[in-house]
């Protein structure tokens, strides 16, 4: 059984004592790439925000409102990526966090409700291709519509990672690690609706200040701590890794 674990659970390959799971859009990036596409190339912010409220209040599934958002974007996929590279920026603290994590054997696993080709393109642009390829990304994908190329007008559609109401239920990726005996300490960072399924699964949850995930955690009594940038996350994770702070004490809630 032990020899199969690294295949089933790639983040265990280096036998880490800590694993850092994280959302991508609005967490690693300052802006949400999917929101940006919808607001600027799709049906706009008003309908997008209406869908978010319907998801947060449980009236609709995330996968359905998100599908509607992306279906409203008719721009060819290669032009979408070009637009995002010009407008989406990384959190100013993420690059330092990435290099510290790599040097200290803290694998970073990106769990995203977005689309892997966009994530890889943005990471390669800001960190470098080799660095981007070193991170495990579990996300949705993109496919051409029937009879079309993704780089044509109305040519692409999202392909969800699973059949859940989230489209990508992030908890399903974390739970196998959480149930291991003598397992690593698990962190998670996120900001919004797509992170709801992951919020209860790790030892220490970082929720971005002022965003929907904070409200959800307070309503559901899920322990968390807030962050403004990855510099805040790095400071806390360093203390936990050094044994100076336990995860229960770090979950201070809204600051």
Phi, psi (5° rounding) for residue 192? -150, -155
- Element holding 21 (H helix, E strand): strand 18-22
Out of 25, 32, 169, 212, the active site residue is 25
Q: Name the 3-class secondary structure at 238.
A: helix
Annotated catalytic residue 25: yes
- The region, left, alpha or beta by phi > 0 then psi within -120 to 50, assigned to residue 176 is alpha
- How many residues in the chain? 255
Is residue 23 part of the annotated active site? The answer reads yes
User: What region, left, alpha or beta, does residue 172 occupy, with left being phi > 0 and alpha being psi -120 to 50 degrees?
Assistant: alpha
How far apart, in whole angstroms, are the C-alpha atoms of residue 103 and residue 82? 32
Tokens of 212: 């929907």
Q: How far apart are CA 139 and CA 160, in angstroms?
A: 8
Angle in degrees, CA 97, 118, 62, rounded to 5: 95
One of 23, 39, 169, 191 is an active-site residue; which one? 23
Q: Which residues are catalytic?
A: 23, 25
């Amino acid at each position: 059984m032990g020899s199969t674990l690294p295949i089933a659970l790639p983040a265990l390959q280096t036998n880490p004592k800590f694993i850092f799971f994280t959302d991508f859009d609005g967490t690693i990036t300052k802006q949400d790439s999917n929101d940006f596409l919808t607001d600027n190339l799709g049906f706009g912010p008003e309908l997008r925000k209406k869908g978010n409220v319907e998801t947060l209040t449980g009236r609709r599934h995330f996968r359905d409102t998100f599908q509607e958002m992306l279906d409203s974007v008719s721009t060819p996929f290669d032009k979408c990526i070009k637009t995002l590279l010009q407008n989406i920026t990384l959190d100013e603290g993420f690059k330092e966090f990435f290099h510290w994590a790599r040097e200290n054997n803290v694998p970073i696993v990106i769990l995203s409700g977005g689309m892997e080709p966009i994530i890889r393109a943005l990471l390669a642009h800001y960190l470098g291709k080799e660095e981007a390829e070193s991170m495990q990304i579990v996300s949705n994908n993109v496919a051409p519509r029937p009879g079309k190329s993704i780089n044509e007008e109305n040519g692409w559609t999202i392909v969800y990672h699973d059949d859940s109401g989230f489209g990508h239920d992030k908890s399903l990726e974390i739970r196998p690690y959480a149930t291991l005996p003598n397992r690593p300490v698990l962190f998670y960072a996120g900001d919004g609706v797509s992170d709801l399924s992951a919020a209860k699964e790790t030892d220490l949850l970082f929720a971005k200040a002022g965003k929907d995930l904070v409200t959800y955690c307070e309503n559901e009594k899920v322990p968390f701590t807030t962050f403004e940038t990855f510099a805040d996350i790095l400071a806390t994770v360093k203390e936990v890794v050094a044994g100076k702070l336990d995860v229960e004490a770090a979950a201070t809630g809204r600051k």
